[in-house]
C-alpha cells in the first residue's frame, strides 16, 4: 500500500510539473507585444499616427511573427502619414520575403504540432497577399504612378493563383472566396484610358469591374465613356479620390466544433504521414485513430466597428459626391476564412492527435499502466491541449473597404475638401482641405486613409 501511495505521489508531482510546462509553453505569444500592437492599432484608428508609429517601429525591427505583422501595420501608418516611398519600399520587401519563403503544409509543420500555430513562421493569409500588391498599387499612384498598373496586375495574378490552388484542394466555394478583386481591373482601366488611345483595353477592364462588383454603379458610365473614346471634356481633367475606409479585418480566437469534412482531411493527412514509414518487414503501419474531439480553438475574422461609411468630396462649397465601394476587404477576408475553415480545424485535430500520441509514448517510457497510466494520459493530454491558443496574428490595419470617386473638373487649381461621413450621410469628422492642380486631359489622384473620423491624404500626381 505504501509503495502504491508513493507511486501516486510521484505521479502527482510529475503531472504538476508537466502541467506547469505546458502552461508556460502556451504563453508563446508575448502579452506585452500583443498589447502593444493593439495599442498601436487603437492609436491609428483615433488619428494618432505618431503614437502608432512609435509603438510599431521597435516591434517591426524585432524578429519573429509579430515583427512581420507590425511591419505590415507600419506600412499603413507610413502611407497615411504621406511617406509613400517608405510604405512602398516596406511592402515590396515583405512581398518578396513572402514569395521567397517556402510555404508549410496546409495542415503540417512540426514545430506547431507540439505547441500551436503561433509557433509557425508567419505567412500571410491569401487575402493579405493580394492586398499587399493592391496597397503597393495605391502607394505608386500616391507617388509617381510608374508601377501602379504592374502592381495591380500582380494582385490579379496572385488571386488567380490562390483560386487555382484552392480548387486543387477541393475547397468548396473557392470561386466565390477567391473571385477577382474589382480594384485591380479598375486601376488598369483608369490608367489605360489616361493614354488617350487604349480605350478598348480600358472598356474591357471596366467590364471586368462590373462583373466582379455589380453594385459599383459608376462602372456603367466608365464603360460608356471608354467605348466612346473620350477621356474627359475639353478643358477638363479628372480627379480620382481612392479611399481606404474603416477598420478592416482582424483575427480573434473562437471555439469551433469539429466537422466531418475537417476530420476527413485530418485523417487523410495522418494516414499519408504514417504510410510514408514502413516497418522493418516492409509492411505498412496503420494510421492513428482520431480521438473524440468535439471542438478546437481557431482564428475567425472580425470586422472592428467604425463610424465612417464613405468620404464626401466638395469643392467651392459644393458637394461633388461621395466615394463608393469598389473592393470590400472585410467581405473578402471573411469569405476566405470560412472557405479555409475545414483545413484550419484539421490542423488543430492533427496537432491534438500528435500530442495524444506523444503523451501515450511518454507514459509507456515511464512504465505507467493501469490507473496510473490512465490518470497520467488524461491529465497530461488535457493540460497540453488546454495550453493551446489560436493564431490571431494578422495585418490589422487594412481598411474595411476601398472606395473610389471620379470627378471631371475644369483646368486650374482647386481646393478640394475631403470629409468622413457616417452611415446616415452626416459629416462626422473635420474636413481635410487639399490643393489640387487639374491638367487638361490628365488624371490627378488623391489617396485617402480614413479608419474613422479623421481623414489622412497621401500625396498624389
The CATH number of whichever domain residue 208 belongs to comes to 1.25.40.10
Distance of CA 27 to the CA centre of its chain: 23
- Which DSSP letter does residue 400 get? S
Q: Of 293 and 314, which is predicted with more confidence?
A: 314
Is residue 273 exposed (0-12), middle (13-18) or buried (19+ Cβ within 10 Å)? middle
Separation between Cα atoms, residue 272 and residue 105, nearest integer Å = 13
Confidence class of residue 3 from pLDDT cuts 50, 70 and 90?
A: very low
Q: What is the pLDDT of residue 269?
A: 67
- Which DSSP letter does residue 427 get? B
Q: Which three cell numbers stand for residue 386?
A: 488546454
pLDDT of residue 92 exceeding 50, the answer is: yes
Number of H helices, E strands in the chain: 16, 11
Separation between Cα atoms, residue 138 and residue 136, nearest integer Å = 5
pLDDT of residue 345 exceeding 60, the answer is: yes
206-232 pLDDT, tens digit each: 999 999 999 999 999 999 999 999 999
pLDDT of residue 105 exceeding 60, the answer is: no
* Domain count for the chain: 1
122-168 pLDDT, tens digit each: 889 999 999 999 999 999 999 988 999 999 999 999 999 999 999 99
pLDDT of residue 367 exceeding 50, the answer is: yes
Separation between Cα atoms, residue 416 and residue 457, nearest integer Å = 11
Separation between Cα atoms, residue 132 and residue 123, nearest integer Å = 12
Q: What is the pLDDT of residue 118?
A: 52
If we measure between CA atoms, which residue out of 75, 161, 176 comes closest to residue 126? 161
Element (H, E) at 450: strand 443-450
Residue 335's domain comprises 2-458
Q: Which three cell numbers stand for residue 374?
A: 490512465
Q: In what order do the strands lie in the sheet with 310-315?
A: 318-322, 310-315, 412-421, 432-438
Q: Which of 282-286, 387-391, 436-440 has the lowest mean pLDDT?
A: 282-286
Q: Of 11 and 166, which is predicted with more confidence?
A: 166
Is residue 70 exposed (0-12), middle (13-18) or buried (19+ Cβ within 10 Å)? buried
pLDDT of residue 285 exceeding 70, the answer is: no
The 8 Å CB, 24+ separation contacts for 189-193 are 189/222, 189/226, 190/240, 190/443, 191/145, 191/148, 191/149, 193/225, 193/226, 193/231
Separation between Cα atoms, residue 275 and residue 290, nearest integer Å = 16
Q: What is the pLDDT of residue 58?
A: 94
Classify residue 246 as left (phi > 0), alpha (psi -120 to 50) or beta: left
Residues 99-107 have a mean pLDDT of 60
Separation between Cα atoms, residue 208 and residue 301, nearest integer Å = 27
Of the chain, the percentage scoring pLDDT greater than 90 comes to 60
- Which DSSP letter does residue 307 get? S
If we measure between CA atoms, which residue out of 191, 91, 89, 176 comes closest to residue 133? 91
Backbone φ and ψ for 386, nearest 5 degrees, come out as: -70, -20
322-337 pLDDT, tens digit each: 999 999 999 999 999 9
Separation between Cα atoms, residue 63 and residue 122, nearest integer Å = 11
Amino acid at each position: 500500500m505504501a509503495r502504491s501511495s508513493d507511486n501516486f505521489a510521484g505521479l502527482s508531482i510529475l503531472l504538476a510539473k508537466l502541467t506547469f510546462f505546458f502552461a508556460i509553453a502556451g504563453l508563446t505569444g508575448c502579452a506585452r507585444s500583443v498589447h502593444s500592437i493593439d495599442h498601436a492599432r487603437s492609436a491609428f484608428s483615433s488619428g494618432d499616427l505618431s503614437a502608432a508609429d512609435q509603438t510599431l517601429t521597435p516591434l517591426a525591427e524585432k524578429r519573429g511573427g509579430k515583427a512581420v505583422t507590425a511591419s505590415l501595420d507600419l506600412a499603413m501608418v507610413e502611407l497615411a502619414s504621406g511617406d509613400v516611398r517608405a510604405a512602398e519600399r516596406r511592402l515590396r520587401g515583405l512581398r518578396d520575403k513572402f514569395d521567397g519563403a517556402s510555404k508549410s503544409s496546409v495542415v503540417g509543420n512540426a514545430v506547431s504540432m507540439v505547441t500551436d500555430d503561433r509557433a509557425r513562421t508567419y505567412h500571410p493569409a491569401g487575402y493579405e497577399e493580394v492586398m499587399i500588391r493592391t496597397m503597393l498599387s495605391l502607394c505608386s499612384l500616391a507617388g509617381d504612378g510608374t508601377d501602379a498598373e504592374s502592381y495591380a496586375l500582380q494582385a490579379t495574378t496572385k488571386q488567380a493563383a490562390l483560386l487555382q490552388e484552392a480548387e486543387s484542394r477541393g475547397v468548396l466555394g473557392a470561386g466565390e472566396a477567391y473571385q477577382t478583386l474589382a480594384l485591380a481591373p479598375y486601376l488598369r482601366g483608369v490608367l489605360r484610358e489616361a493614354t488617350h488611345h487604349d480605350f478598348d483595353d480600358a472598356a474591357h477592364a471596366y467590364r471586368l469591374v462590373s462583373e466582379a462588383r455589380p453594385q459599383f454603379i459608376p462602372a456603367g458610365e466608365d464603360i460608356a465613356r471608354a467605348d466612346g473614346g473620350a477621356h474627359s471634356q475639353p478643358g477638363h481633367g479628372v480627379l480620382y479620390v481612392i479611399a481606404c475606409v474603416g477598420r478592416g479585418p482582424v483575427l480573434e480566437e473562437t471555439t469551433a466544433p469539429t466537422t466531418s469534412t475537417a476530420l476527413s482531411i485530418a485523417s487523410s493527412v495522418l494516414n499519408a504521414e504514417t504510410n510514408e514509414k514502413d516497418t522493418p518487414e516492409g509492411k505498412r503501419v496503420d494510421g492513428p485513430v482520431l480521438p473524440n474531439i468535439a471542438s478546437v480553438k481557431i482564428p475567425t475574422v472580425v470586422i472592428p466597428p467604425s463610424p465612417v461609411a464613405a468620404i464626401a468630396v466638395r469643392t467651392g462649397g459644393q458637394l461633388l459626391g461621395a466615394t463608393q465601394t469598389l473592393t470590400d476587404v472585410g467581405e473578402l477576408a471573411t469569405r476566405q476564412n470560412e472557405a479555409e475553415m475545414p483545413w484550419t480545424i484539421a490542423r488543430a485535430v492533427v496537432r491534438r492527435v500528435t500530442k495524444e500520441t506523444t503523451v501515450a509514448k511518454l507514459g509507456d517510457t515511464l512504465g505507467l499502466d493501469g490507473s496510473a497510466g490512465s490518470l497520467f494520459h488524461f491529465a497530461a493530454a488535457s493540460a497540453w491541449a488546454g495550453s493551446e491558443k489560436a493564431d490571431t496574428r494578422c495585418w490589422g490595419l487594412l481598411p474595411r473597404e476601398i472606395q473610389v470617386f471620379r470627378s471631371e473638373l475644369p483646368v486650374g487649381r482647386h481646393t478640394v475638401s475631403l470629409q468622413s461621413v457616417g452611415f446616415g450621410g452626416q459629416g462626422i469628422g473635420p474636413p481635410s482641405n487639399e490643393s489640387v492642380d487639374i491638367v487638361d486631359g490628365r488624371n490627378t489622384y488623391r489617396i485617402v486613409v480614413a479608419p474613422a473620423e479623421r481623414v489622412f491624404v497621401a500625396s498624389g500626381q
